[in-house]
Structure 1
Amino acid sequence: MYHCLKQTLRNDGVIRGLYAGTTPAIMANVAENSVLFAAYGYCQKFVCHLTGTESVDQLSTMGNAASGFLAAFFSSFTLCPTELIKCQLQAMREINIQGAQTAVKVTPMQLTQQIFRRYGIQGLFRGLVPTIMREMPGYFFFFGGYEGTARFRPGTEGSGDV
């Protein structure tokens, strides 16, 4: 770990080495979580309707977990394009490091434009199915775990505190 840190700082410095890609990652995280938590509220109401539960506050841990599962479907549509760009930029950088060719510098915006020109809007959603398959079970356990443990915190009765 120390060797890796030392090499990173020597080769790329603090800003580019330790914080490269921070701005797009923050923007992606804000977008994903905005959609996730907005959808979570609607999905809680949907699960209430399906289960005959009177209010979101009365949803069981399993009901909240199911709501998180469904909400992740919607947030995957904001996450997928940013994950695609991030992964492709990382792969390009790795190829440039390992190969003998001169490094090609491509910004996230340039790569997005290249994908859009070549494949259209659907090109930005390559990998959507695997993203959905990763996110939905993950958020099932995230929201189920959060809401399940929230019941044990003093002063809370579960749902609505997310």
Structure 2
Amino acid sequence: MVNIRLQAQSTLAGTGAATVAVKYGGPMDVARQVLRSEGGIRGLFKGMVPTMAREVPGNAALFGVYEALKQLLAGGTDTSGLDRGSLLLAGGLAGAAYWLAVYPTDVVKSVIQIDDYKNPKFSGSIDAFRRISATEGFKGLYKGFGPAMARSVPANAACFLAYEMTRSALG
């Protein structure tokens, strides 16, 4: 939740709008302000339901696709002989599968986390999903998808390759 607040602030400030005031001085300042004015510790967990709705199926897709692709590329269940290129490919495509599976949930999570505490636009995750869908259509649920995918594919490719190399080095 803290990073979403800082990202939203940076996005608004980066638009060139002269009226945008910087609200947070950093992660600890976000936490302090949320604790003080948004329901205490409960405020730090705002958006936990859509976060879990993203993480559980997203990680199932991530690891399931990764293992399935490794086996496909290896031609069987023994994937120990795969080269680095194959591991990078499997990891990158697994990262893409993660976001394809859950991106609308991430959009809902983000709007819930930056919603105004005292005058909220949304009554909850389902309301946010319905209202985004109704006002912006399918495209509204995929705002920012390109940059997320552009980050996810190489990041997951590198992460899975590093995991496999470390696992191999440790025996």
Q: Please state which band the TM-score falls in when normalised by the shorter chain.
A: 0.7 to 0.9
1:87 and 2:89 are equivalent in the alignment = no
**AA partner of residue 106 (structure 2):** E
Unaligned runs of 5+ in 2: 1-26
Query: Which of 29, 33, 44 is matched with 2:70 structurally?
Result: 44
Equivalent residues in 2 for 1:2-151, closer than 5 Å: 4-48=30-74, 55-93=78-116, 103-106=119-122, 107-151=124-168
CA distance, structure 1, for counterparts of residue 166 and residue 50 of structure 2:
32
CA contact (8 A) 2:71 2:77 kept: no
**Structure 1 residues 72, 5: CA separation in 2 closer, same or farther (over 3 Å shift)?**
closer
What is the root-mean-square deviation in Å for CA atoms of aligned residues? 2.7
Structure having the higher Rg: 1
CA contact (8 A) 1:47 1:66 kept: no
Give aligned-pair identity as a percent: 25
Unaligned runs of 5+ in 1: 97-101, 157-162
What's the counterpart of residue 20 of structure 2? Answer: none
What TM-score do you get using the length of structure 1 for normalisation? 0.73
**Structure 1 residues 138, 105: CA separation in 2 closer, same or farther (over 3 Å shift)?**
same
What TM-score do you get using the length of structure 2 for normalisation? 0.70
CA distance, structure 2, for counterparts of residue 132 and residue 4 of structure 1:
27
CA distance, structure 1, for counterparts of residue 161 and residue 120 of structure 2:
44
**AA partner of residue 127 (structure 1):** G
